[in-house]
Amino acid sequence: MFAIDPDIRRAHTLPGAFYTEPGYFQQAREQIFARSWQIIPGSAETVRLPFDALPFRYLPGYMEEPLLLLRDQDNQLQCLSNVCTHRGKILVEQPCKLPHGIQCSYHGRRFKCNGQFQSMPETEGMENFPSTSDHLTPLQVQEWRSFAFTSLAPEIPFQEWIAPMEDRIGFLPVEQFLFAPERSRDYLVKANWALYVDNYLEGFHIPFVHKSLHESLDWSAYRTELFAWSNVQVGISKGGEHVFDLPQQHPDFGQAVAAYYFWLFPNLMFNFYPWGLSLNIILPLAPGLTKVQFRSFIWDASKLDTGAGADVDRVEREDEAVVEQVQMGLGSRFYTHGRYSPKQERGVHHFHCLVDKMMSRPISEAAY
């Protein structure tokens, strides 16, 4: 569709129209986001024991599909449509326990915790009932550490998607990190979701936009490593602040790593610091409007407010200001597309290649 050249030395960036035109924004809903893995916020804190249930919406503000995450009697995660197959009523409205299965509060239709139709009052005389259409639609659900993920129509193999991050930070006890609501907040950014991702995926702007962060990181040693559906930016400390205590068998052993910035296609960012994790969830709202959800998970509170992860709020404000200016510029009649720095913008080029790949693939094409 966009013909992004796989050779970064020759390639041009996505056209400005991709970030501004409603048609591309709507097309990305099915071509990219319905096929991708999305994190289920709050799963680690809410759905921990058998029969715990959490209603949620898939990409609220963009796709709004009502879904339900719950643990069954065998402590297995289930993700189901949260819409009654009788008349479309939302089944579960608040986090709760469902020891007796799911019952619709409209006409009493009941379902098992795996979504199978169980019973309904006043069905005498109904023919060909129940049928498969009376069951709740199950969705794929995957767990990584304490986090859960789902997809409406996954085309990316989950293990291929998550494995590079697990391989690199597997030494960290992520499942022991504690959610810190007082350090978590949402931001509204007047820019396209993909522009926010572009900005995240390169360290090129750090010396110019993030002066305080630049003082903590050795920019000359800053690097990006690419994987099939993700990439990582490795921040090396200048010295004087906390760094990871890497095990001897780790590929970065002996390096003063201050931060791992992992991006998972298309819109999830896991930022690991010696103090814990800052998770960024990028939610498209409109062609020129994005919600960024920051969620903090603390491992070692004694290392907070130091080094590369010292002031994520300030860094976010700086990023917000610059991408909003770029969003305005992309609408200019004098802008078409740009070029990539082969050294500094490998992550952006990688992202654009994946966007091009997903936007070009027919909806009817079989999954992997």
* Residue 101 predicted with pLDDT over 80: yes
- The helix-helix angle for 312-330 and 193-200 (nearest 10°) equals 120
When pLDDT is averaged across residues 272-299 and rounded to a whole number, the result is: 96
Threshold 0.85, pTM exceeds: yes
- Res 319: pLDDT: 81
When pLDDT is averaged across residues 130-150 and rounded to a whole number, the result is: 97
- Counting Cα atoms < 13 Å in the Cβ hemisphere of 307 gives 25
- Res 240: pLDDT: 64
Helices of type H across 122-278: 158-169, 193-200, 206-209, 211-216
* Residue 367 predicted with pLDDT over 50: no
User: Which among 146, 207, 246 is positioned nearest to 344, based on CA atoms?
Assistant: 207
Percentage of residues of the chain with pLDDT beyond 90: 82
Give phi and psi for 207, each to the nearest 5. Answer: -65, -25
- Res 368: pLDDT: 34
Q: Could you read off the pLDDT of 176-228 as tens digits, one per residue?
A: 999 999 999 999 999 999 999 999 998 766 665 555 665 667 878 889 999 99
Residue identified by tokens 């979504």 is: 115
β-strands 141-144, 138-139 pairing: unpaired
When pLDDT is averaged across residues 239-253 and rounded to a whole number, the result is: 89
d(CA 200, CA 14): 16
Architecture of the domain spanning 158-360: Alpha-Beta Complex (3.90)
- DSSP codes joined into one string, 38-101: EE-TTHHHH--STTEEEEEEESTTTT-EEEEEEE-TTS-EEEEE-B-TTT--BS--S-EE-TT-
| Mean pLDDT over each residue of the chain, to the nearest integer | 92
Break the chain down into helix, strand, coil percent, rounded to 5.
Answer: 30, 25, 45
3-state secondary structure (DSSP) of residue 22: helix
User: Which among 362, 69, 363, 36 is positioned nearest to 194, based on CA atoms?
Assistant: 36
Q: Could you read off the pLDDT of 143-158 as tens digits, one per residue?
A: 999 999 999 999 999 9
Query: Range(s) for CATH 2.102.10.10 in the chain?
Result: 43-144
Q: Rounded to an integer, what is the distance from CA 259 to the centroid of its chain?
A: 19
Write the CATH number of the domain with boundaries 43-144. Answer: 2.102.10.10
Give the N- to C-terminal CA distance of the chain in Å, as an integer. 20
Q: Could you read off the pLDDT of 80-95 as tens digits, one per residue?
A: 999 999 999 999 999 9
Query: Range(s) for CATH 3.90.380.10 in the chain?
Result: 158-360
Tell me the one-letter amino acid at 108: G
d(CA 205, CA 59): 29
Q: Could you read off the pLDDT of 308-326 as tens digits, one per residue?
A: 555 667 777 788 888 999 9
- Cβ–Cβ < 8 Å for 68, 81: yes
d(CA 48, CA 42): 10
- Res 349: pLDDT: 98
Q: Rounded to an integer, what is the distance from CA 168 to the centroid of its chain?
A: 18
* Residue 344 predicted with pLDDT over 70: yes
d(CA 71, CA 98): 9
Calculate the dihedral angle through the C-alpha atoms of 306, 312, 318, 319, rounding to the nearest 10 degrees: 130
